[in-house]
Amino acid sequence: MKYQASRVFLGPCLRLLARTTLVGAENVPAEGAGILASNHLSILDSFYLPFVLERPVTFAAKSEYFTGKRPQERLVGAYLRATKQLSVDRAGARAGQEMLEAALKLLKDGSLFGIYPEGTRSPDGKLYRGRTGVGWLALHSGAPVIPVAMIVTERLMPPGAKIPTPGRIEIRIGKPLTFEEFADVPGGAKQRRAVADRVMAAIGELSGQQVEPIYASARKEQLAAEKQAADKEAAQKRAAEKRAAA
């Protein structure tokens, strides 16, 4: 009931914010378990993908989204709680595995679960290497993996933005992927990696992005280091100019 109420309440706001085109809705099963594996460009992804689907879908969201104090953060938290999204404390040593185990239970109950295989939002709009959690889920649940491409959601609300900008977005849903070749093979690291790579290739085909050979988290670290170096250089230059003018 809360899930549908949240859609009714938030629906007009989402429609006003973005004109949304949905392609491939028929690829989401009408019933039974399914893993929606999407690229991740913006926090808006977790709002628009569930909104355009007929069936409820659960995503894992970092716990900070549930506990924000600002008005817009409270709205986000209320929506996530109403739609029964999973709260994940990423600081815990077993946070990732606990999330996967909770997701597996949902899949065993026949639900739809949404996952971002990159593990975090893309820092620059590119598509990065997938984490193997999606492989773990697919191999342990037997559920099909349905690739999803969110298109230009980062233009409406890029990482770090506080207020979204109106625009247009597109959501493309691909044909389900199954992994019968691993049915009789233990879900080891090699199999999980093979599944993750196939899923990312399918997402890239839908989005038109090439999969970068590093993780998004590693790219974030690179960008942070580059910014730190640039800030240091700028500070040194200002200090030198100040000495020269003295």
Q: Average pLDDT, stretch 23-40?
A: 96
167/228 same-domain check: no
177/127 same-domain check: yes
The winner for highest mean pLDDT among 16-20, 67-71, 216-220 is 216-220
Count of structural domains within the chain: 2
143/171 same-domain check: yes
Backbone angles phi, psi at 112, to 5 degrees: -95, 135
Q: Is the pLDDT of residue 32 over 70?
A: yes
Distance CA 125, CA 223 (A): 13
Q: Count of CB atoms within 10 A of residue 43's CB?
A: 19
Q: How do residues 156-176 score in pLDDT, each as one tens digit? A: 998 888 888 999 999 999 999
Which own/partner contact pairs does 180-183 have at CB distance under 8 Å and 24+ positions apart? 182/139, 183/142
Q: Average pLDDT, stretch 71-79?
A: 69
Q: What is the 3-state secondary structure (H, E, C) of 23-86?
A: ECHHHCCCCCCEEEEECCCCCCHHHHHHHHCCCCEEEEEECHHHHCCCHHHHHHHHHHHHCCCE
- pTM, to two decimals: 0.86
Domain range for 187 is: 2-213
- pLDDT for position 1: 44
- pLDDT for position 18: 87
Cα-Cα end-to-end distance for the chain? 70
Q: How do residues 99-135 score in pLDDT, each as one tens digit? A: 899 899 999 999 999 999 999 899 999 999 999 999 9
pLDDT band at 96 (very low <50, low <70, confident <90, very high): confident
Q: Is the pLDDT of residue 67 over 60?
A: yes
- pLDDT for position 63: 66
CATH number assigned to the domain comprising residue 10 = 3.40.1130.10
- pLDDT for position 22: 96
Residues 6+ apart with CB under 8 A from 101: none
225/114 same-domain check: no
Mean pLDDT of the chain: 87
165/52 same-domain check: yes
160/242 same-domain check: no
